[in-house]
Amino acid sequence: MSDVAKGFTRQQMADRIAAEFGDGWIVNLGVGLPTLCSNTDIGDRNIVYHSENGVIGYGAIAAPGEEDLNLVNAGGQNVTLRPGAAVVHHADSFAIIRGGRIDVTVMGAYEVAANGDFANWRIGRGKGGGIGGAMDLAACARRVFLIMEHVTRSGAPRLVPACALPVTARGVVKLVATDLGLFEPAGEGFRVRELAPGVGMDAVRAATGAPLVA
């Protein structure tokens, strides 16, 4: 990203996504950018954060010196528990996921396609991958939101007509926050719901691999 002060910062992308959370939602935050949503002030909404390892109702990152080394979120960070929290084992945690109890899963991604496919488990080169809980969450959460940089480090679009990388799930993405704004996969292209401060449509068009639609 350029050093010009425009577009959303990392925390602002997370804040913008967190603003979409409904009161009472059960929310799963993926590793990396999505974790920043747990820093967002959610006001008087009651949001329950669920982590793949079975922690239901975690809160802020633990203060230095007050960590419980046996309490982590999906990113391995030492977190705290909020009133009403519970811990279940892994099979029950994924029963929560596959059973349709997660209102939204927020994930990072390498690519998202206009038809709602997305890719976030293998970069393409080499063997193996990092799926974690992403395929279970993507297939079964009620909504999939993504937070991602709009282009790669070399400037290639990440919002594309079709995924070139192996997909995590097909047709599931409802909302994408990038440094340039807020977008919805709309079949033929991406609908622009909101532009980030200081960002114009021409800049978004130039940085997006698929058409922008009304």
Contacts to another protein by CB under 8 A: 31-32, 51-55, 67-72, 76-78, 87-91, 93-94, 97-98, 122-123, 126-136, 139-140, 166-170
CB-CB contact of 168 with 135 (8 Å): yes
Question: Which is nearer to another protein, 20 or 80 (by Cβ)?
Answer: 80
Burial (Cβ within 10 Å: 0-12, 13-18, ≥19) of residue 4: exposed
Question: Which is nearer to another protein, 59 or 166 (by Cβ)?
Answer: 166
Question: Which is nearer to another protein, 69 or 214 (by Cβ)?
Answer: 69
- Rounded Cα distance between 110 and 147, Å, is 10
Question: Which is nearer to another protein, 43 or 126 (by Cβ)?
Answer: 126
End-to-end CA distance of the chain: 27
Is 52 among the catalytic positions? yes
- Rounded Cα distance between 128 and 157, Å, is 24
Compute the least distance from the CB of residue 42 to another protein, in Å.
23
Compute the least distance from the CB of residue 205 to another protein, in Å.
27
- Taking the CA atoms of 214, 151, 176 and 168 in sequence, report the sign of the dihedral they define: positive
Task: Please list, in sequence order, all residues whose beta carbon lies within 8 angstroms of the beta carbon of residue 23, skipping any fewer than 6 positions away.
Answer: 45, 46, 47
Compute the least distance from the CB of residue 84 to another protein, in Å.
15
Strand partners, 148: none
Can you give the length of the chain in residues? 214
Question: Which is nearer to another protein, 73 or 182 (by Cβ)?
Answer: 73
What single DSSP character describes residue 22? Answer: P
Compute the least distance from the CB of residue 56 to another protein, in Å.
11
- Rounded Cα distance between 105 and 140, Å, is 9
Catalytic residue among 52, 111, 149, 188: 52
Compute the least distance from the CB of residue 200 to another protein, in Å.
28
Residues forming the active site: 52
